[in-house]
Structure 1
């Protein structure tokens, strides 16, 4: 089983969402776009802008926490741009 750390972006909110999952990213995105009461329910234009794969949940979760600890949109944008290479 693979785990993924991912970043979503909503132009409407001009915000990033950072998470991790064991699901396929397309399926996870579909759930974010469906009717629910979480943070991503505030917009319907979320797009996957970055992801990394891991072999274990712990590593994916640690990566999520690391990125969230930055509390910096600028650093997240730099990470995304560096992967577009």
Structure 2
């Protein structure tokens, strides 16, 4: 069972945000409450558009970094898979 989740959010301004969490649904609620990342606080509401399980925090962080290196079009292609 995966302990961590890598997730991608679409912000109200259309930008994308990628992060990791143990519970993506709970983390989404935190973002929308304005207590999540500084980036999403000013871009609410946010919606979960993609998630992927990860076995451990280390692999989740590595996947998050890899996704953050992608171009926007590549991120959106990932979402539509």
Q: Same fold by TM-score, threshold 0.5 exceeded?
A: yes
Structure 1 residue ranges (4+ consecutive) displaced by more than 4 angstroms after TM superposition = none
Deviation at 1:53, TM superposition (A): 0.5
Q: For residues 25 and 52 of structure 2, what CA distance do their matches in structure 1 show?
A: 14
Between Structure 1 and Structure 2, the one with more helix by share is: 1
Unmatched tracts of structure 1, length 5 or more: none
TM-superposition CA deviations, 1:2-42 (whole Å, max 9, x none): 100000002x31100000112x2111001111134710001
SS at match of 1:40: helix
Rg larger for = 1
After superposition, residues 19-58 of structure 1 pair within 5 angstroms as 19-22=19-22, 24-36=23-35, 38-58=38-58
Q: What RMSD over aligned residues (CA atoms) do the two structures have, in Å? A: 1.4
